[in-house]
Structure 1
């Protein structure tokens, strides 16, 4: 079977449609996850006689306006992403549905999916573009499929959907603390029975957290800090251990952590790291400006002492067990399934 994630540049094309959500549905999404979202559809990519993927390698975008029933713009390639973002932001609709072709499927070639984003929202379009490409540098190289995944700091769920398509048999627990982001995340994943959403922060223990907006004012980098229980505006935080217990899982075999400086917190107590035993792969987006001196060194020491090796892939520190790490080196050939 063809696997679309075999190169550094992801193969995908996007059709952007203005979603015609009635005002009642829009209100439902603002209030909670009860809005109805069309089911995603799978589609095999075309392959030649040797199983080589023939999907288009150029990102292509198209915008249509359902209200007037005609095309707003012609096809554009990926270099015009900023122009497309501007066009989306001009709509009066509260949500835009993005149809994506070329999402990698671990066993089925290419899939198609749809994603809700918010026009005019300061980070959704960037998260969309970023989330469709972050995994291609390392996950596609591995002869291994995780059965359990933790996606912490999921934002609106773009990378979550990519993981759900790449690993359709995996149980995926998703954590996002910012309430507005999490409502869209819930809507984006509600048709995926293997995805479980927690509107919480991730911490070293169950606690109460306050939300701090990042210095750049954008909504993809909310920072959490522990506060007293009952503090106005606080939200619940969960530990890795409590998530494993809640979903009756032995471990998270793959962990994606993009939690804006809180990554050091879950490694803080050496006697509280039993959850690391079953982890085989971890991708960390480290935020040096948000961590204390020595925190990064401590995390590295903890992981190396438990048999992990690190390689850099884009903005992620990818920590792999020593049986998987050789496959992440650039000089290694494409792995054969094991």
Structure 2
């Protein structure tokens, strides 16, 4: 049984305010947290395989309880530009953490395993919510097969960078780039 709080379900709903006009067979969930997005993706596209990446050990434990290995593959690691180990800040809420020490990050850090974004599979749909590492990840991610990108940016400058980075190939269809923290949804052009 799902142990996901309502506010997390509400946050995931922000990704679905625009109808998704494709049926993905593969979903990449970077910053999978405790599985709210993975569960919604499975409900929307039951035949899709979901690849979840989550570095926070306490989240991975809940993620494993909330999803099913028949359709969801979990990697207990962060996604970065390069593989290795790094210290991640623990957030002020039990389900958050990030490499950038933003306003909602504590001074407490834990060491986590990181995988290189370039080594991840190219998936039909990509969702990224990594508390500030979205630009770094998208700069190295293979988007060859990607039709939809859903992300949460964590600064106005990141929002602008992401928009400029993606606009040559993707159309911004849900735009909260004027908010300090907001949701963006992109569809592949053409």
- 1:330 maps to none
Q: Distance in 2 between matches of 1:177 and 1:188?
A: 16
Task: Return the structure number with greater strand share.
Answer: 2
DSSP-derived class of the 1:277 partner: coil
- 2:106 maps to none
Q: Distance in 2 between matches of 1:301 and 1:264?
A: 11
Deviation at residue 151 of structure 1 after TM alignment: 0.9
TM-score where L is the length of structure 1? 0.48
Matched, 1:310 2:154: no
TM-score where L is the length of structure 2? 0.81
Matched, 1:165 2:43: yes
Q: Distance in 1 between matches of 2:20 and 2:37?
A: 18
Q: Distance in 2 between matches of 1:298 and 1:212?
A: 23
Match of 1:155 among 33, 50, 74: 33
Match of 1:242 among 86, 105, 119: 119
Deviation at residue 125 of structure 1 after TM alignment: 4.5
- 1:224 maps to 99
**TM superposition outliers: structure 1 runs of 4+ over 4 Å:** none
1:78-157 matched pairs, under 5 angstroms = 114-117=1-4, 124-131=5-12, 133-138=13-18, 141-157=19-35
Q: Distance in 2 between matches of 1:184 and 1:142?
A: 27
- RMSD of Structure 2 on Structure 1 (CA): 2.3
Does the 8 Å CA contact 1:175/1:199 hold for their aligned counterparts?
yes
1:321-336 matched pairs, under 5 angstroms = 321-323=188-190
- 2:144 maps to 277
Does the 8 Å CA contact 1:150/1:255 hold for their aligned counterparts?
yes
Deviation at residue 281 of structure 1 after TM alignment: 0.7
Structure 1 alignment gaps of length 5 or more: 1-113, 118-123, 226-231, 245-250, 324-338
Deviation at residue 143 of structure 1 after TM alignment: 3.5
Q: Deviations over 1:125-178 (max 9, x none)?
A: 4224433x334312xx23420111111112111221111121111111011111
Q: Distance in 2 between matches of 1:287 and 1:260?
A: 6
Structure 2 alignment gaps of length 5 or more: 101-108, 177-181
Tell me the matched-pair count.
177
